[in-house]
Amino acid sequence: MEPNIVVLTDFSPAAAQARTYAAALAAPLGAVVHLVHIYSPVPLNVEYDMVTPLPMEARYMQQISHSLEELAAALPVPATAELLEADWYGAVQQTLRNYQPLLLVAGLSKTNGWLDEWLSNRALPLAHQPGYPLLLVPQELSAVPVCPPRRLVLAVQDEGFSLTAEARALAPLLDALHIEVVVVTVLPYEQRAAGEQGFHSAQHCRLAASVSRHDQHKVVHELPARGIMQAVDELAADGLVLLDLGHGWAHTLFEGSVISQVVRQTRVPVLLLPARPTPPHE
C-alpha cells in the first residue's frame, strides 16, 4: 500500500491547520492525504422507548461531500475526501483498517473547560486505542507559514521503553524531512543526576537516525509538564513527541496526566506515539 496520511477533519480553523500541516509532511514522501469527515447521527427517541439515529439529510450530505472534495483539491499533494456516517470510534477504526496510514492527524482546538474540550477535541483519546501515532496540530501554531518541523523534542521518563511497529514506521518520514530529534528528560532537583535509562531507550528506539547524534537535554523542574514546555522553548523546537506507555489516552487525558497538561498548553504540534515499558535490562 502506498504511504498515506489520514486527517480527521471538519470545517474548523484547527482542522484547516491540520490539513495544511499534513500536506507539508506528505510532500517529501510522495504520500497521499486522505481527508475523513465523520458525521455521528444524533439519537432520536421513538416509540416503545427505542432510540434510533437521525439519518443525515441527503442534500446536506451532498453539500458536505462537495465541500470536502474542494478542500482535497486545494491541497498541494494528492488527496482524497471521504464522508462517513457512523459512530465516531467505529468510523475511525474502519478508516484505519482501510488505509493503514503512517500517521493519523487531527486539529487541536482552543477550548474553554472540560465539556468544550470533549466536544471539540474528540481525537484526543484515540492514539492508544487504535495503536497508531496521532499528531495533534494546534489551532494557533507558533510557526507561520506552516512547514514541517526542523527540531522535535522527544520527552521521556527515566524508564525503559520500546516503540510499537506503527510508531517505528514513522522513521522514513522523519529521516526524509531531515528532522533533528532531541531527547529531553525532566527531573526533580533531588534526582537531577538520573535519566540514563530513558535516554538509553530513546537512543535505541529506532524513531529517527538523528536521535543517536545528540546528547540528552535535562530540565530540572518539579512539574514535568512545565519542564517539557520549558525544554521546547530552550531548544527552539517546533514539535513535541510524547509517549503512551500503555495507559491509553482516555485515561491520561481525564486523569490530570502530564500529557493532558502539555496538550492544553502547547503551541507546537504534538506527536503521540504508542509504546510499551521494558525492564531495565532491555
Query: Which domains does the chain show, CATH number per domain?
Result: 4-138 (3.40.50.620), 151-277 (3.40.50.620)
90 vs 231: which has the higher pLDDT: 231
Specify the pTM: 0.86
> For residue 259, what is the enclosing H or E element?
helix 258-265
pLDDT of residue 268: 94
Return the residue matching grid coordinates 498515506. 4
**For residue 177, which of 7, 6, 25, 31 has the smallest C-alpha distance?**
25
- The one-letter amino acid code at 244 reads D
pLDDT of residue 127: 45
**For residue 136, which of 167, 168, 103 has the smallest C-alpha distance?**
103
Mean pLDDT, the chain, integer: 83
Q: Give the pLDDT band (50/70/90) at residue 36.
A: very high
Q: Over 80: is that where the pLDDT of 71 sits?
A: yes
- Report which DSSP code applies to 211: G
